[in-house]
A = this chain, B = another copy of it.
Amino acid sequence: MRFIGTKEDGRVVVLGVPLDVTTSFRPGTRFAPSEVRRISFDAIESYSPYLDADIEECDVGDLGDLELPFGNVTGALDIIEREVSRLLERGKRVVCFGGEHLLSLAAVKAHLDVYPDIVVLHVDAHTDLRDEYLGERLSHATVLRRIVDLGADFCQVGVRSGTREEFAFASDRALFFHPFSLPDAGRLSEVLGGRPVYLSLDVDVLDPSCCPGVGTPEPGGVMYSELVGFLAGLSGLNLVGADVVELCPLVDSTGNSAVVGASLLREVILLLCAP
């Protein structure tokens, strides 16, 4: 099948965002959109038995990749924000497919205009709550802190790496903080009620065994089947936007990480297709 790339428009749209500028350990997230498209032709079914839903029965378009300047962080973030805003104005639901995590800052900013009470559901191995990192305030390691600065509420689940200060900040400020593993969907529903939710899914929440191809591997993560079960549980939420970020496919010469990224993208798209 070709689960992405066959239609150029739809109610739900996938936007490739090959941002790859502030990565401090292993760069290469820029290759995720093209690699996932390439393998999606042959390696992935359009039908998800987990959600009992099929992308070919949904209204999904693929907008291709944004062209971003290299080495210019603010210029790139502006381009992303403008494009997401343009799509939201046209009534789309948008899935940004990274690229590095910093793209979420631009995407959330665009969503905040339309959904002022949006909650960011941050699924990640890392707290990403530093105020600055290596002297920079805009970084994949500060992205959630910058999102907090925008005034958005957030939940954080699955984290297992950060400074003592970041863990304290998350404990203190998150609507819901669930480190080390993924919570029951019921618990999240209680917290989030019917508020609009933006899902920011950093694939490194998975154990590196499940997805070796990430920029900042952190052992001790969740297994794929736990994550896909967690995602299925989100179907009761009011999900209005999402991103899937930090896949760094070329690190993994087996190619399996790209298959994992494509599979997660399928699940996230299907979640956003729900009525």
- Give chain A's interface residues, CB within 8 Å of chain B: 20-28, 30, 34-35, 38, 41-43, 45, 47, 49-50, 52, 54, 67, 69-73, 75, 133-136, 138-139, 160-164, 167, 179-180, 207-210, 212-213, 216-221, 223-225, 228, 250-256, 259-260, 263
Contacts and interface: CB of A to CB of B under 8 A. Distances in A.
B220 A224 contact: yes
Given A27-B27, A49-B167, A69-B135, A256 B220 contact: no
A72 to B, nearest CB: 6
B27 A28 contact: yes
23 contacts: A20-B27, A21-B21, A24-B42, A38-B38, A43-B216, A47-B164, A49-B167, A70-B136, A75-B135, A207-B225, A208-B210, A208-B256, A208-B260, A209-B209, A209-B223, A212-B256, A217-B259, A218-B263, A219-B224, A219-B228, A219-B256, A220-B228, A253-B253
Given A22-B70, A69-B136, A75-B135, 8 more contacts: A26-B28, A43-B217, A49-B180, A50-B160, A50-B220, A207-B225, A219-B259, A253-B253
Given A20-B27, A225-B220, A254 B256 contact: no
Contact of A47 (B133, B162, B253): B162
A67 B209 CA distance: 31
A30 B50 CA distance: 31
A70 B210 contact: no
Nearest to A181: B225
Number of identical monomers bound together in the oligomeric complex? 6
A252 B217 CA distance: 13
B254 A212 contact: yes
Contacts of A221: 225
Contacts of A256: 208, 212, 217, 219
Contact of A72 (B73, B216, B217): B73
Contacts of A25: 42-43
A216 B43 CA distance: 7
A267 B134 CA distance: 25
Contacts of A73: 71-72
B213 A162 contact: no
Nearest to A166: B47
Nearest to A72: B136
A134 B217 CA distance: 30
A254 B255 contact: no
A23 B251 contact: no
